[in-house]
Amino acid sequence: MAGRTDAHADLIAATQAPRLCPILLAEIGYGSGAERAWTGNGTLIWDGVEFYGVGTLGKVSAVSETTEFQANGMAFTLDGVPAARLQQAIGDFRYGLPAKLWLAVLDEQTGTMIGEPYPLADNITDSIAIDDAGETCSITVRTESPAITLDAALNWRYTNQDQQRRHPGDKGFEYVPSLVDKTITFGKS
């Protein structure tokens, strides 16, 4: 991180210290709102919102960064979830909601964050997987980079109906169907 200029100066300085306490903060969108967690214990407040501590129960897959333009996904896993919350997690999951991950450093003496957290990933939710072990279970939310949508085919046509869905009242495509078999003569005949 020493070569990064987009990270907060205090965060960069903290990573150069002989001892540091790195943490991860995660925010995953669900239908009823965002769930926020961090890799410590207790509640952590950052930017006016609460992140609940998951300690060693939370896992994040490797964050990959490449020089090529490609969509890199990742997975967030939470172990030890009570079976009673399983239906809520499945029923509330929605595809395409924000899933974010930040790196931060805590001051070991005060327990406060040093500088501003550095964004590691700004993805969208893709799928959810459940590993049910009886009384508790593991929930894994897989995410994808928003760049994944660049590979998808456009789901609209140059028709008046599609234009009205996107721009109600626009008349730009109103006469397109009448032009399909129309012969247009230019110049002298």
Q: Work out the end-to-end distance of the chain between its first and last CA atoms, rounded to an integer number of angstroms.
A: 72
Report which DSSP code applies to 171: -
Please tell me whether residues 108 and 183 are part of one structural domain: no
Its pTM surpasses 0.85: no
Please tell me whether residues 39 and 89 are part of one structural domain: yes
pLDDT of residue 99: 92
Please tell me whether residues 72 and 46 are part of one structural domain: yes
Q: What is the pLDDT of residues 3-51, one digit of tens each?
A: 445 766 777 776 776 677 888 999 999 888 888 999 988 899 999 999 9
Provide the domain count of the chain.
2
172 lies in some domain: yes
Please tell me whether residues 19 and 75 are part of one structural domain: yes
CA distance linking residue 50 with residue 26, whole number of Å: 11
2 lies in some domain: no
The rounded mean pLDDT for the chain is: 82
Tokens of 94: 């929605």
Please tell me whether residues 22 and 112 are part of one structural domain: yes
Tokens of 159: 């028709």
12 to 23, 25, 50, 77, 116: CA distances (angstroms) = 14, 17, 24, 28, 10
Please tell me whether residues 40 and 128 are part of one structural domain: yes
Phi, psi of 183 (to 5 degrees): -95, 125
Q: What is the pLDDT of residues 38-84, one digit of tens each?
A: 998 889 999 999 998 888 778 888 766 667 766 678 898 988 888 77
Please tell me whether residues 82 and 157 are part of one structural domain: no
Residue numbers of the domain that contains 172: 153-189
4 lies in some domain: no
